[in-house]
Amino acid sequence: MELDFFTPVKEDLLVTDSGKLGSSLKIHLENKAFPDLEGVKIAFFGVLEDRLNEERNGEPFDFNGIRRELYNLYPGNWHLQMADLGDIQRGETVEDTFFAVQSAVNSCLKKGIIPVLLGGSEDIVYAQYRAYDGVEQMVNLVNIDSRFDLGDADKPISNRSYVGSIVVTKPYNLFNYSNLGYQTYFNSQDEIELMDRLFFDAYRLGEVTGDITVVEPVMRDANLVGLDLGAVSGGALGNYRMRSPNGFDGREICALARYAGISDKVSSFGVYEYSSEFNFPASNMLVAQILWYFVEGVNFRKNENTISAKKEFIRYQVPIEEEVLVFYKSPVSGRWWIEIPFISPSNNKLKRHTLLPCTQGDYLDACNQIIPERWYKTKRKNEI
């Protein structure tokens, strides 16, 4: 771990109550040695970068309010060791900040630690994603956001165009991109059509809030997750200066964070678009609870993403049109997967995508001769 990247947490944020979350964290403090990360499963750190925010107000911000609320929450029945590494300050250039973030996330991944980032502008997801450049498989990105953030890849990267940069910039590690909670009036028809042409997944806000369980298989297949606070309603954040009154409420956004945590594949998580405008007690408390629910999810992982676990799955075959769809069900969790034909033997990075998380509803639809849309999109991407 590059210790020079992190500035320590202020000591006046510490809590003295031994029963609260802050008392059990390994915290990088002023005038103290950097914490020993042996045995740590989750590591929090902030990234004080917002220069590529297209609506940047230029005011300084910090995460002290969030830390104060988080440290004072009571933990659940948890058994994982966690750490707070402090903050990555703005580098001389944005590229310097990105390098520090990429290095920090990559170091955590190598140690088996799940990094939980607090941002700054959401373009930091680009650096979070680039930390996966050395992994053996392609990765899936899930973005909880009211916008797709595809932008124009020919223009400089920003918090509204970082996904486009991910798609077109080598090395190509991205297998799938999923957006949860987009609001149509914030996205051009060109972007909506591009999402469809690229066989990416997009779920409108109303679709998710109508049945939040639709996101579970999407999260179960994610490797990295970014959460834009702009996806949350201004009322839920206690911030009525926000431009949009629509978005997820507090309960819904915490449920999404828990789904991300409980996914066996998610290996990094970030909450972005925090600024001085969010420095309200309600905003800080909601972000702290988002982090709490992510940790709660991690503690209840089933570890079903292993060869030995998959050997116990129950197998179902469903003839449909000219295909035979193969479904698997876990006898432990009751969760479902569908097999994707592996068509590109030359691309070893695609091997992990031969089992796609799905729902029991997808199995029942297939029994009624309806091909699951996510199966079709994933199969098409395997063919390209």
DSSP lists the bridge partners of residue 227 as: 144, 271
**One domain, residues 254 and 345:** no
More confident residue, 384 or 211: 211
Domain count of the fold of the chain: 2
The pLDDT tens digits of the residues spanning 238-287 come to: 866 666 789 999 999 999 999 999 999 999 999 999 998 888 899 999 99
Q: Taking CA 113 as the corner, what is the angle to CA 109 and CA 117, rounded to the nearest 5 degrees? A: 85
**One domain, residues 285 and 326:** no
Predicted pLDDT at 67: 98
The pLDDT tens digits of the residues spanning 290-343 come to: 999 999 999 999 999 877 888 899 999 999 988 899 999 999 999 999 998 766
**One domain, residues 133 and 51:** yes
Query: What would the two tokens of residue 198 be?
Result: 């690229």
Domain with 40 in it: what CATH number? 3.40.800.10
Going by pLDDT thresholds of 50, 70 and 90, the confidence category of residue 351 is low
Q: Is the pTM of this model over 0.75?
A: yes
Domain end position, chosen among 249, 268, 299: 299
Cα dihedral value 121, 124, 125, 128, nearest 10? -150
CA distance 286 to 70: 9
Residue 175 DSSP one-character state: E
**One domain, residues 104 and 240:** yes
Q: What does DSSP say about strands 81-88 and 26-27: parallel, antiparallel, or unpaired?
A: parallel
Going by pLDDT thresholds of 50, 70 and 90, the confidence category of residue 353 is very low
Domain end position, chosen among 299, 330, 358: 299
Lowest mean per-residue pLDDT among 29-38, 81-90, 152-161, 238-247: 238-247
**One domain, residues 199 and 262:** yes
**One domain, residues 243 and 372:** no
The pLDDT tens digits of the residues spanning 189-221 come to: 999 999 999 999 999 999 999 999 999 999 999
**One domain, residues 315 and 290:** no
CA distance 4 to 239: 35
Predicted pLDDT at 293: 98
Dihedrals φ, ψ of 17, to 5°?
-70, 115
Q: Indicate whether 76 pLDDT > 70.
A: yes
**One domain, residues 233 and 139:** yes
**One domain, residues 89 and 166:** yes
The pLDDT tens digits of the residues spanning 32-64 come to: 899 999 999 999 999 999 999 998 888 899 999
CA distance 133 to 364: 38
Predicted pLDDT at 349: 56
Q: Taking CA 165 as the corner, what is the angle to CA 7 and CA 46, rounded to the nearest 5 degrees? A: 15
Predicted pLDDT at 344: 54
The residue range of the domain holding 20 is 3-299
Task: Provide the 10 A C-beta neighbour count for residue 384.
Answer: 8
Distant-in-sequence, close-in-space partners of 324: CB < 8 Å, separation ≥ 6: 317, 318
Predicted pLDDT at 8: 96
CA distance 86 to 44: 8
CA distance 280 to 346: 52
The pLDDT tens digits of the residues spanning 91-144 come to: 999 999 999 999 999 999 999 999 999 999 999 999 999 999 988 789 999 999
Domain end position, chosen among 273, 299, 325: 299
Distant-in-sequence, close-in-space partners of 251: CB < 8 Å, separation ≥ 6: none
With CA atoms as reference, report the closest residue to 69 among 220, 290, 316: 290
Going by pLDDT thresholds of 50, 70 and 90, the confidence category of residue 26 is very high
**One domain, residues 116 and 189:** yes
**DSSP per-residue letters across 304-333:** -SSHHHHTTPEEEEEEETTEEEEEEE-TTT
Q: Indicate whether 377 pLDDT > 80.
A: yes
Helices within the chain (DSSP H only): 21-24, 64-71, 94-110, 124-130, 162-168, 189-197, 205-210, 216-220, 250-262, 281-299, 307-310, 360-367, 373-383
The helix (run of H) or strand (run of E) holding residue 271 is: strand 268-272
**One domain, residues 179 and 315:** no
Query: What would the two tokens of residue 375 be?
Result: 């199966």
**One domain, residues 246 and 320:** no
Q: Indicate whether 1 pLDDT > 70.
A: no
Lowest mean per-residue pLDDT among 22-31, 250-259, 335-344, 350-359: 350-359
Predicted pLDDT at 384: 64
